[in-house]
Amino acid sequence: MTNIRINWTVNLIQQVRLIHALAEAASTVVLDSKEIEKFDLLSKELGLRLSGSSADAVDITRFLGFSHANPTTRIGEVERSLIFPHAITQRCRGFWPETRSHRVSFLGLMTEKRQEVLAKWIHLNLKGHTYRPSDNKSTLARFKKWVFNQFGISADTRIQIGDLLLWSSDRGRRFPIKAWDEHYYRVLAESEFVLCPSGDFVWSYRFFESILCGAIPIVEEECPAYNGFQFYSFHDDFSQLKWTREIALQNYNDCLSRITISTAELKAELERIVEKGGRSKPVR
């Protein structure tokens, strides 16, 4: 029986996914009670079990590590770019439909830089939808005015622009929906392609999440984390791109090998860590 404790203030999805993966291998994962509510939707929808106390839990926090810049995630001596629980990879695979209703989509936070990049992509790839920025206004204001003038609605809503489903939302920034937004994943699974502009760093969670849902990513910039996958660039002619199930399945299988750890390997590593770490004081 392996009962572990993690002393983290949970902010990043890397932490959320890592804790979920550990819960699939450990008997009990103990977090501070104030942190557990961040996982409410994962507990309700995917059966994640966490505890606020355990008398014999071993604190393994110092054996866990991650870098958001690279990215890398580490459990003891086991390291991946990201570590996802099997429950999520399997759930995403179950969302794949027979036919996909969206040619291309983007769902996420519309920063000013991101809106400028997306607007340029729309101008180059979606016929009949012209973007002409004004020099005397911010990019954010220009983009919102352009969307309003074109479609008569705010850019903060879900809209269809030609073949593009564009949904501006900050849902992914707030717990508990930050930990699990099923609607987000279902829209990815309904899409043939997903636009993946860069965020704080070049790599994006959206790249891997799209692949898990069977969509082919279209990236603003390439980076080492994307090596080995099949994807397209913002510079490619969108009208010539073709989605195939063969590419989607190859990407999915490659993704599993890159961001998951077998339960047997993870249990063995946890046992090694617990033995090395010794027994912690009882958690009250």
Read off the tokens for 218.
């279209």
Partners of 196 in beta bridges: 219
Please give the structure tokens belonging to residue 62: 């110092």
Please write the tens of the pLDDT for every residue from 136-176.
Answer: 345 556 666 666 566 554 455 678 889 999 988 877 788 99
Whether 254 shows a pLDDT value over 70: the answer reads yes
Report the pLDDT averaged over residues 96-125.
Answer: 91
What residue spans in the chain does CATH classification 3.40.50 cover? 90-258
**239: DSSP letter:** G
Q: Residue 127 has what pLDDT?
A: 79
Would you call 29 exposed, middle or buried from its count of C-beta atoms within 10 A (0-12, 13-18, 19+)?
Answer: buried
The burial class, CB within 10 Å (0-12 / 13-18 / 19+), for 266 is buried
| Res 101 pLDDT > 50 | yes
283 or 248, which is more confident: 248
Q: What is the mean pLDDT of residues 120-142?
A: 65
Q: CB-based contacts of 141: which residues, under 8 Å, 6+ apart?
A: none
* Strand positions, DSSP E, 118-231: 158-161, 164-168, 191-196, 216-219
Topology of domain 90-258 in CATH is Rossmann fold (3.40.50)
Exposed/middle/buried for 282, CB within 10 Å: 0-12, 13-18, 19+? exposed
Indicate if the pLDDT at residue 24 is higher than 90.
Answer: yes
pLDDT computed for residue 142 by the predictor = 60
The mean pLDDT value of the chain amounts to 88
33 by Cβ neighbours in 10 Å (0-12 / 13-18 / 19+) ranks as exposed
